[in-house]
Amino acid sequence: MSSPSIRRALISVSDKLGLVDFARGLETAGVEIYSTGGTRRHLEQSGIEVLDVAEYTGFPEMMDGRVKTLHPRIFAGILCRHDREDDMASLEEHDILSFELVVVNLYPFQATIAKPGVTKAQAIEQIDIGGPSLVRAAAKNAKFTSIVTNPEQYSSVLDEITSSGSTSQEMRDKLSAAAFAMTAEYDRAISGYFAESESDSIFTTNKTISMRLKNELRYGENPHQQAGVYSVVGSSGANIVNARQLNGKDLSYNNLLDLDAALHIVRPFTQPACSVIKHNNPCGAAVGETLVEAARKGMAGDPLSAFGSILGFNRVVDEETAELLSEPGLFIEAIVAPDFSASAIGILTTKPKWRNNVRLMQVGNLEEQQGELSYRHITGGMLIQESDILVDDYPSWEVVTETKPNESLQDELRFAWQMVRHIKSNAIAVCRDQSLVGAGAGQMSRVDSVEIAIRKAGERVQGAVLSSDAFFPFPDSIQAAAEAGIAAIIQPGGSRGDESVIEACNEHGIPMIFTGRRHFKH
């Protein structure tokens, strides 16, 4: 049979955005509107004729609205199959009307539990019962019933009803899929809330991640791989997925990975900071008195590798910084920052040769980073851990050598320790003047990483400091550092070879700090 004409709509929503205009359009198209409680009053106040569900069912709303739509006269009208004579005969026998359109969104459970200080009792009151039942009933009967669950759907649904008096099967199937996704997400939020509230561990027995497709990407890490980016439902704050793109080509899979890494590096610093990312590792990073100083130092960390890099800033990119980045000989793929001044946008999008292509990503204020979980897929499952964002406990650090670092070296060592956690293991960072001048990343041997970092630093290694993400098992790395002119070393300690490593530092007069904490990044 053809699509049934939409004669009646049942409307019961918490989010009333755009509802009046939608309902007025339905009224103009000749659709009878039935509604409940607050939704009915909202529509009536706008001059829309609404029939009361309680009068139709002959059963009043009760228990502060907990019970209002859970009635056979409502659900039979939604679930009836218009091509079944027995279904339609049952409606006639029991004087039941059919509902060809259901408009429902749910109590704001997710928004409620996101508020600070919400009690369990308050959360429970925001668990919708009738709403999900109505949604699922209408979505199940998508052959005959249209289910609208989001104000963003109003326009397209109303266009079809206005033009043909009904909705297409393609539209109903699309609405049904969105409806089931919504109820699944809603149930996930509820189950997750209770699992976490009843558990002493962040690792509950069952964990469900709800995500929405934000964009399909041109391809993944390589052109033969399809890819997309999803947003985690409920995720908020300053991050790459939620960022606003102000200029440039579409982001690639690799761009997103590098932008995320760039933002992670600069986020913790209170001073103006810049990070320079290439292939998900920092090839330069620095702090300065001004943003332009941090940018200049960061770009100088490894000028060769910085060509075609991704930059991260923890301050609004200003005109002076934009002028620096637009100097001849530089090429920048993308920049992420809290914001960009109007003059900086003007410079970056008109002055350099790459002006039309550079991606400018505005993430907003970098508020204090909250504890979060890190997810990583492996074949057959998922690894979950707390993100490595714990603030360093400087008083717990121990100087283990005869020579003590002076105050200037201590500042350098703190910066170097912050840097090394962002480099892939085995990780070595060589830093000078609060900037990264040499990095050794992802080597199978720690001494290989040391030698690479020293080579990258070049002449700047003289008087620089060196950090290691994990302990040195042997003194060979210390020997290489001493020969290069390293002034101080920081590492976790904890190796069976600690005594020989300390002895090597004492032999060369190099102060060394043990932090007692490792920073592997695989």
Same domain (yes/no): 346, 456: no
DSSP string, 114-131: HSTT--HHHHHHT--SHH
Q: At what angle do helices 476-484 and 446-457 cross, to 10 degrees?
A: 10
Spatial contact of 401 and 511, defined as CB atoms under 8 Å apart: yes
Residue that terminates a domain, selected from 362, 383, 404: 362
Q: Exactly one of 140, 174, 351, 508 is catalytic; which is it?
A: 140
Q: How many domains does the chain have?
A: 3
Task: Supply angle C-alpha 92, 68, 103, rounded to 5.
Answer: 75
In a domain, 212, yes or no: no
DSSP string, 292-349: HHHHHHHHHSSHHHHTTEEEEESS-B-HHHHHHHTSTT--EEEEEES-B-HHHHHHHT
Q: What are phi and psi of 141, to 5 degrees?
A: -95, 35
Same domain (yes/no): 101, 152: yes
Same domain (yes/no): 351, 489: no
Q: What is the DSSP letter of 67?
A: B
Spatial contact of 426 and 445, defined as CB atoms under 8 Å apart: yes
Same domain (yes/no): 36, 182: yes
Torsion-angle region of 312 (φ positive above 0: left; ψ -120 to 50: alpha; else: beta): beta
Which of 24, 49, 21, 15 is CA-nearest to residue 35?
A: 49
Same domain (yes/no): 245, 306: yes
522 as an active site residue: the answer is no
Same domain (yes/no): 192, 271: no
In a domain, 218, yes or no: no
Same domain (yes/no): 273, 181: no
CATH number at residue 486: 3.40.140.20
In a domain, 307, yes or no: yes
Same domain (yes/no): 357, 414: no
In a domain, 40, yes or no: yes
Count other C-beta atoms under 10 Å from residue 278's C-beta.
Answer: 20
- Quick one: CA dihedral 422, 305, 285, 245, positive or negative? negative
Same domain (yes/no): 404, 356: no
In a domain, 210, yes or no: no
Spatial contact of 270 and 305, defined as CB atoms under 8 Å apart: no
Q: Exactly one of 16, 143, 249, 279 is catalytic; which is it?
A: 279
Same domain (yes/no): 34, 177: yes
Q: What are phi and psi of 247, to 5 degrees?
A: -165, 160
Residue that terminates a domain, selected from 182, 197, 212: 197
Instruction: Give the integer Cα–Cα distance in Å for 102 and 13.
Output: 10
At 389 the pLDDT is 86
In a domain, 474, yes or no: yes
User: Do you know the residue count of the chain?
Assistant: 522
CATH number at residue 57: 3.40.50.1380
Domain limits for position 183 = 8-197
140 as an active site residue: the answer is yes
Same domain (yes/no): 417, 469: yes
- Per-residue pLDDT 10s for the chain (522 aa) are 567 889 999 999 988 999 999 999 999 999 999 998 889 999 999 999 999 888 888 777 767 666 667 788 888 999 999 988 898 899 889 988 999 999 998 888 888 887 888 888 888 888 888 889 999 999 999 999 999 999 999 999 999 999 999 999 999 999 999 999 999 888 888 888 887 777 677 777 777 788 888 999 999 999 999 999 998 877 778 899 999 999 999 999 999 999 999 999 999 999 999 999 999 999 999 999 999 999 999 999 999 999 999 999 999 999 999 999 999 999 999 999 999 999 999 999 999 999 999 999 999 998 766 667 888 999 999 898 988 888 888 999 999 999 999 999 999 999 999 999 999 999 999 999 999 999 999 999 999 999 999 999 999 999 999 999 999 999 999 999 999 999 999 999 999 999 999 999 999 999 999 999 999 998
Q: What are phi and psi of 201, to 5 degrees?
A: -120, 150
Spatial contact of 510 and 482, defined as CB atoms under 8 Å apart: yes
Note the pTM of the prediction, 2 decimals. Answer: 0.81
In a domain, 463, yes or no: yes
At 286 the pLDDT is 97
Which amino acid does the sequence have at 174? K
In a domain, 229, yes or no: no
At 66 the pLDDT is 67
Same domain (yes/no): 49, 187: yes
Which of 123, 133, 128, 137 is CA-nearest to residue 106?
A: 128
